[in-house]
């Protein structure tokens, strides 16, 4: 069964550094998402992306965050200058449209 | 707002028991999803519900889309140790143009063998 893949599985970075989290969505899906989950908390929406542009973003997704689909398969989340509070699991998801989201296994980001 | 509250927050049950949990909101949703999350992994889809009143099963799991469209319920029958995990509901308010889902606060299930 096709799946969403994310790399790396764990990223450790120093405060102020830039990180790029990578995702390969399911190939025939058109809608892409990033969600965040702080340890022990619920899954929070960050941003949705369709037709090569952001379709919606949450208040968490400030100017430090950006997303890109650099080629036909990858979907990336960049955090320009990481803060301690950015430490979380970051999940990529994709969907065909109104159907259910399919999630990757996440990238655990640790900011020190 | 679009807050989804899940109840109970956590529960301990004996193996073989049935489990019930629910998800409620003050807002109307057009689609409900139920996910299970194991430690260190992403949410895995269990059941999708698309119409008010819909009752859908997946093995020992049964979920219902509430008639008011503001709630959903998940039941697990004859629980087994591997049912341990966190169960999340997720709701979509269409037409939103983005198809994003809002996640609930989660129900942590622990099964005692």
With a pLDDT cut of 90, the percent of chain B lying above it is 84
Is the CB of B96 less than 8 angstroms away from the CB of A56? yes
Closest by Cβ to B41, choosing from A31, A45, A105: A105
The answer on pLDDT for A98 being more than 80 is no
- Mean pLDDT, rounded, of chain B: 92
What pLDDT does residue B98 have?
67
The answer on pLDDT for B1 being more than 60 is no
Is the CB of B48 less than 8 angstroms away from the CB of A99? yes
What pLDDT does residue B97 have?
61
Q: Give the tens place of pLDDT for each residue, A18-36.
A: 999 999 999 999 999 999 9
What pLDDT does residue B96 have?
59
Give the C-alpha separation, B113 to B102, whole Å: 33
Q: What is the mean predicted confidence (pLDDT) over A56-73?
A: 93
What pLDDT does residue A97 have?
80
Partner B contacted by A13 (CB < 8 A):
no
Residue in chain B closest to A56 (alpha carbons) equals: B98
From A94, A56, A90, select the one nearest A74 (Cα to Cα). A94
Number of H helices, E strands in chain B: 0, 11
């Amino acid at each position: 069964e096709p799946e969403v893949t994310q790399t790396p599985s764990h990223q450790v970075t120093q405060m102020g550094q830039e990180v790029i989290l990578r995702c390969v969505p399911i190939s025939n899906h058109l809608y892409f998402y990033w969600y965040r989950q702080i340890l022990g908390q619920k899954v929070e929406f960050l941003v949705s992306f369709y037709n090569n542009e952001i379709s919606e973003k949450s208040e968490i997704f400030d100017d430090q965050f950006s997303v890109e689909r650099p080629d036909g398969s990858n979907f990336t989340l960049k955090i320009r200058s990481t803060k301690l509070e950015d430490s979380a699991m970051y999940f990529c998801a994709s969907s065909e449209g109104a159907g259910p989201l399919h999630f990757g296994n996440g990238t655990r980001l640790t900011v020190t | 707002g679009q807050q989804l509250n899940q109840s109970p927050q956590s529960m301990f049950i004996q193996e073989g028991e049935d489990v019930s949990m629910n998800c409620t909101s003050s807002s109307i949703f057009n689609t409900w999803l139920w996910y299970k999350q194991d430690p260190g992994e992403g949410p895995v889809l269990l059941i999708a519900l698309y119409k008010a009143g819909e009752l859908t099963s997946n093995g020992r799991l049964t979920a219902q889309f509430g008639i008011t469209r503001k709630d959903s319920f998940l039941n697990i029958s004859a629980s087994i140790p591997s049912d341990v995990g966190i169960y999340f509901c997720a709701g979509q308010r269409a037409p939103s143009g983005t198809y994003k889902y809002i996640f609930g606060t989660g129900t942590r299930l622990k099964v005692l063998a």
